[in-house]
Amino acid sequence: MQSDTVKRLAHECGFELAGVARAGPLTGDYALYSTWTAAGMAGEMRYLTDRRAEVRRDPRNLLPGARSVICVGKLYNQPLPERREGHAVFSRYALGRDYHDVLREDLERLAHKLAETAPHEWKICVDTAPLLERSYARQAGLGWIGRNTCLINEPLGSWFFLGELITTLELAPDSPPPDRCGTCTRCIEACPTQAIVPRDGGWTLDSRRCISYLTIELRGAFPEEQRGVLGSHVFGCDICQEVCPWNARAPESSDPAFAPLYDPAPPLEELAALTPQEFRRRFRDTPVMRTKYEGLMRNVSASLQEPCNQMHEQQDA
């Protein structure tokens, strides 16, 4: 089977980006990952540091006999909601249906379409699988990894969900594109918590400082030194993508699955009054469920204690 056929079928299944990487270890990238976790930058995300860390060394640990990794990208960009004082900010990726379900459904379709022509074994990976997905996406030609650690595609930008289909099919691999961040440091300068830090002559993300980590992954109370950094963010943060020049003309998703299922900028006071039942009713089937009711209430409470536009005043400065 030709790689062009794979890409055509991937587009038919709703993916804007598609490419192929070899199913083998990426020694350099895994070494960087290991030093990143050893430095404690994964914070409390133990799924990145436990026994699954070793599985990430080679995709054949997930599917013995794998020969190729079909990497796909699905656009989720939505119009930027109006920013108003006293109103919450949700990351754009969290406004619609849970992307795990959407991408898995589309990857299932792709796997079966491929099997109609060339029988194969496969494993679907969407975000939670122990795989260095950005590294394989880069190898598959989908984009380069920017200073903000997002995969950036020229000319479509970085508002993409990534997914992978590990397969026993032998497919011609694509080539990684050049890094086109150049001397730009807008994401570094715009980050209100200085989460993008220097490392080994380059840059990496210290998750422990990242607003997305603090509002989604961190459990329990905020450490004292991290209180007051959220601005009006209650779930995730898009600042480093919003200031990226490659997103200046990024297209918006036409997939109805990612259309907002709730008010993307509700008053903070309204959120603070939600009951657990109202939380589940409003955010059911969306990524916001990951933070749970207690987590969202913690985030809203922290935001109400700070000037709500503080983060975006820094961004626009």
Q: What is the pLDDT of residues 180-211, one digit of tens each?
A: 999 999 999 999 999 999 998 899 999 999 99
pLDDT of 317 higher than 70? no
pLDDT of 264 higher than 80? yes
Q: Please indicate, yes or no, if residue 240 is contained in any of the structural domains.
A: yes
Tens of pLDDT along 38-82? 999 999 999 999 999 999 999 999 999 999 999 999 999 999 888
Task: Answer yes or no: do 206 and 120 share one domain.
Answer: no
**pLDDT for position 16:** 98
The answer to whether residues 143 and 87 touch, using CB atoms and an 8 Å cutoff, is no
Cα distance between residue 96 and residue 204, in whole Å: 28
Spell out where the chain has E strands.
17-22, 68-75, 89-90, 122-125, 144-145, 151-152, 160-167, 196-199, 202-205, 233-235
Give the residue-averaged pLDDT of 114-128: 95
- Could you tell me which of 314, 312, 288, 316 has the C-alpha nearest to residue 300? 288
Task: Answer yes or no: do 134 and 18 share one domain.
Answer: yes
Task: Answer yes or no: do 309 and 163 share one domain.
Answer: no
Task: Answer yes or no: do 136 and 227 share one domain.
Answer: no
Task: Answer yes or no: do 19 and 154 share one domain.
Answer: yes
Q: Please indicate, yes or no, if residue 194 is contained in any of the structural domains.
A: yes
Task: Answer yes or no: do 14 and 162 share one domain.
Answer: yes
Give the residue-averaged pLDDT of 227-238: 91
β pairing state of 68-75 and 17-22: antiparallel
Higher pLDDT, 307 or 136: 136
**pLDDT for position 82:** 84
Neighbours of 275 (CB within 10 A): 9
What would the two tokens of residue 98 be?
A: 């849970």
| Residue 83 pLDDT class (50, 70, 90 cuts) | confident
Q: Please indicate, yes or no, if residue 191 is contained in any of the structural domains.
A: yes
| Residue 94 pLDDT class (50, 70, 90 cuts) | very high
Task: Answer yes or no: do 63 and 162 share one domain.
Answer: yes
Q: Please indicate, yes or no, if residue 178 is contained in any of the structural domains.
A: no
Task: From 121, 140, 167, give the residue that closes a domain.
Answer: 167
Tens of pLDDT along 151-184? 999 999 999 999 999 999 999 999 999 999 999 9
**pLDDT for position 306:** 56
Task: From 118, 137, 167, give the residue that closes a domain.
Answer: 167
pLDDT of 309 higher than 50? no
Task: Answer yes or no: do 116 and 58 share one domain.
Answer: yes
Cα distance between residue 27 and residue 284, in whole Å: 40
Q: Please indicate, yes or no, if residue 172 is contained in any of the structural domains.
A: no
In a 10 Å sphere around its CB, with 0-12 CB exposed, 13-18 middle and 19+ buried, how is residue 59 labelled?
buried
**pLDDT for position 221:** 87
**pLDDT for position 316:** 43
Task: Answer yes or no: do 216 and 152 share one domain.
Answer: no
pLDDT of 223 higher than 60? yes
pTM here is: 0.93
Q: Please indicate, yes or no, if residue 234 is contained in any of the structural domains.
A: yes
Q: Please indicate, yes or no, if residue 18 is contained in any of the structural domains.
A: yes
The verdict on whether omega for the bond into residue 155 sits within 30 degrees of 0, i.e. cis, is yes
- Could you tell me which of 154, 9, 24, 145 has the C-alpha nearest to residue 72? 9
The answer to whether residues 65 and 229 touch, using CB atoms and an 8 Å cutoff, is no
What would the two tokens of residue 9 be?
A: 């079928």
Given 3-state DSSP classes, what are the helix, strand and coil percentages for the chain, each rounded to the nearest 5?
Answer: 40, 15, 45
Task: From 140, 167, 194, give the residue that closes a domain.
Answer: 167
Residues labelled as active-site residues: 127
Count of the separate structural domains present in the chain? 2
Residue-level length of the chain: 317
β pairing state of 89-90 and 233-235: parallel
Task: Answer yes or no: do 108 and 10 share one domain.
Answer: yes
| DSSP count for the chain of H helices, then E strands | 12, 10
Neighbours of 317 (CB within 10 A): 7
Cα distance between residue 288 and residue 159, in whole Å: 18
β pairing state of 151-152 and 202-205: unpaired
pLDDT of 315 higher than 50? no
What would the two tokens of residue 59 be?
A: 């995709």
- Could you tell me which of 106, 103, 114 has the C-alpha nearest to residue 6? 114
What would the two tokens of residue 35 be?
A: 């030093």
Task: Answer yes or no: do 57 and 9 share one domain.
Answer: yes
| Residue 118 pLDDT class (50, 70, 90 cuts) | very high
Could you list the residue range(s) of the whole structural domain that residue 215 is in? 186-316
pLDDT of 93 higher than 80? yes
The answer to whether residues 55 and 166 touch, using CB atoms and an 8 Å cutoff, is no
**Portion of the chain with pLDDT greater than 70, in percent:** 96
| Residue entry with tokens 């990794």 | 69
| Residue 288 pLDDT class (50, 70, 90 cuts) | very high
Q: Please indicate, yes or no, if residue 175 is contained in any of the structural domains.
A: no
Exposure on the CB side of residue 155, measured as CA atoms within 13 A:
3
Task: Answer yes or no: do 163 and 190 share one domain.
Answer: no
